[in-house]
Amino acid sequence: MKITKLETFLVKPRWLFLKMHTDEGLVGLGEPILEGRAKTCAQAVAELEPYLVGKDPTRVVHHWQAMYRHAFYRGGPILTSALSGVEQALWDLSGKALGVPVYKLLGGPTRDRIRLYKGGGDPATIKEWIAKGFTCFKTGPYSERPARIIENKTFIDTAASQFARLREVAGPDIDLAIDFHGAISPQTAKVLIKELEPYQPFFVEEPVQCQNVDVLAEIARGTHLPIATGERVFTKWGFREILEKQAASILQPDLCHAGGIFEVRLIAGMAEAYYGGIAPHNPLGPISLAACLQLDASIPNFVAQEHTTLGEGYLKKPFVFKDGFVELPTGPGLGIELDDDAMEDQIDHDWRNGESYLADDGSVVDW
């Protein structure tokens, strides 16, 4: 089997899908996207095509090494996201060629079903999704305005009380995480975490910018709450410092950004050596979710899986959610088929990142 062509196409609301064609008629799927940079990622995939065409897609790790290391300037969010989507498609083809799910190529399943968590920022949403079977959620710290470098008591009290209301609605049996999104300063993060501790968040995600590893480690040592990070960290080399400095105990690599399925499998192994858990980041589409589920099934230190869609309107057979979990996919490769007919009105988009400014003075704040 040889690769013949790489085809990318924009898909609403903000995704980029990849079809990797072969001379045997099998098609591998991937999601090589960086939010807000879809067209740039598509071009990066096109630049990998000359290397891939004519090659055996089942040599997944060899091709990853070649595409990553033959570039003198390596890594970064764009190139690694393009590489991640291509790698997903290579695994999809490998599984389809052998007639088995990808997780069986990674050592077999370590669990029978995969726990999902949902975003929910208000009590009504939490109640609604609990009624549908969800037992794990993630929310943000504050909804009224962006945070300043040093925040006042009103900001801290309001953020803590908002989380307290969610905890009251959810009850003690529901896992409720909170994501600072790296938009809270070190000066404010420590104060806010202290006020949240009585309500026992499932984890505190990106309490500060992920590049600020030393401060992240300091925060982790200063609280009994689990600290999570990783959606903006790439490859095993990026996660090495996080683990060595014990800056987080929950890692959240994104399989569309961090290097793909096998790269995140390696990161999970590194985390296991530090007794860390893996909760893959995924605010993206159904191909991304399919790749995540293959990884989740194969690792012993899986925590919970973020998602935005089960694939309705995109997949011929969307994933089925029940009582907080989805069953292991059993189809070959990633275990999914795109529904091209249903997707006809979802092709193309011009999604852009949001722009936020402080109302006080018009200065730029983190998204």
Residues that are catalytic: 181, 281
Cβ-contact 348, 12 below 8 angstroms: yes
What is the per-residue DSSP string for 118-150? EE--SHHHHHHHHHTT--EEEE-S-SSSPPPSS
The encoded tokens of residue 26 equal 């099998």
266: three-class secondary structure by DSSP? helix
CA dihedral sign, ordered 49, 55, 61, 62: negative
Rounded distance between C-alpha atoms, residue 120 and residue 250, angstroms:
20
What is the per-residue DSSP string for 249-263? SEE--BTTTSS-HHH
Instruction: Please return the burial class of 344, using the count of CB atoms within 10 Å of its CB with bins 0-12, 13-18 and 19+.
Output: exposed
Region for residue 76 given its phi and psi (left: phi exceeds 0; alpha: psi -120 to 50; beta: otherwise): left
Query: Residue 205 pairs with which residues in a beta bridge?
Result: 179, 228
Region for residue 311 given its phi and psi (left: phi exceeds 0; alpha: psi -120 to 50; beta: otherwise): left
CA-nearest of 363, 297, 288, 307 to 330 is: 297
Rounded distance between C-alpha atoms, residue 127 and residue 131, angstroms:
6
Cβ-contact 78, 71 below 8 angstroms: no
Cβ-contact 103, 47 below 8 angstroms: no
Instruction: For helices 261-273 and 77-98, give the axis angle rounded to 10 degrees.
Output: 100
Rounded distance between C-alpha atoms, residue 291 and residue 286, angstroms:
9
CA dihedral sign, ordered 149, 152, 153, 158: negative
